[in-house]
Amino acid sequence: MAESHGGAKAPATDAHTEADGGHHGGGFPPFESSTFASQLVSLAIFFVVLYVIVSKLALPKVGGTIEARQNKIEGDLTEAQALKDQSEAALKAYESELAAARARAQAIGNESRDKANAQAEAERKALEEQLAAKLAEAEKTIASTRATAMSNVRSIAADAAGTIVQQLTGVVPDAASVNAAVDASLKG
């Protein structure tokens, strides 16, 4: 660093000797043109290094992290939405199934009620018919019994009339005239 520009003045410089700006002594450092080259060269080197690091490593890495997070959040949100849709679909399916089951239960209830009604009706009809038959039979029996009784009454009446006539008159009446008289009085 012994070499300086404007060599004539240089050797006299004092304490804070500077590499290539010594001859300016107490000058204003930012305007010392002899330091410019060094600064520009180091700026160029370090800025290029920084640019390469930033563009090849730093930004892809940080950008990738941010993007991965964004994707993760979006993915999670979509997944949550899908799950929500799924649960809503399940709820809807459950509700429709419930409604169907209810309808089916209603139908089964109606059907069984109708069937029970029909059966009861049939049974009732059968029973009624049976009863009617029994009634008819009973009436027939009564009628026949009465007819028998009535015929008995006639013969009894004829006998009684014959006997009475015999007792009163002592004459055995003619059976045919007694019968005719009994018939006439029964009719009357």
Partner 1 sequence: MKIDPIHQFNIEPLFTIGHIGHQTIAFTNSSLYMLVAVVIISLLMLASGAQLVPGRLQSVAEISYEFVASTIRSTAGAEGMKFFPLIFSLFMFICVSNLVGIIPYTFTVSSHLIVTVGLALLVFFTVLIYGVAKNGLKFFSIFVPHGVPGYILPLVMFIEILSFFLRPVSHSIRLFANMLAGHIALKVFAGFVAMLGFSLGAIGWVGGVLPLALTIALYALEILVAFLQAYVFAILTCIYLNDAIHPGH
Given the rule CB under 8 A, which residues bind partner 1?
1, 3, 5, 16, 18-21, 26, 28-32, 34-44, 46-47, 49-51, 53-55, 57-59, 61-66, 68-69, 72
Among 151, 146, 141, smallest CA distance to 186 is for 151
Cβ closer to partner 1: 68 or 175? 68
C-alpha distances (whole Å) from 10 to each of 4, 21, 31 are: 7, 9, 17
Cα(38)–Cα(20) distance, rounded to whole angstroms? Answer: 9
Cβ closer to partner 1: 11 or 63? 63
Rounded least distance, CB 10 to partner 1, Å: 12
Query: What is the rounded (10 degree) CA torsion for 176, 179, 181, 182?
Result: 170
Cβ closer to partner 1: 61 or 113? 61
Q: Are 33 and 18 a contacting pair, CB within 8 Å?
A: no
Rounded least distance, CB 100 to partner 1, Å: 46
Cβ closer to partner 1: 18 or 173? 18
Rounded least distance, CB 63 to partner 1, Å: 7
**2, two tokens:** 């012994």
Rounded least distance, CB 17 to partner 1, Å: 9
Q: How far is CA 42 from the centre of its chain?
A: 76
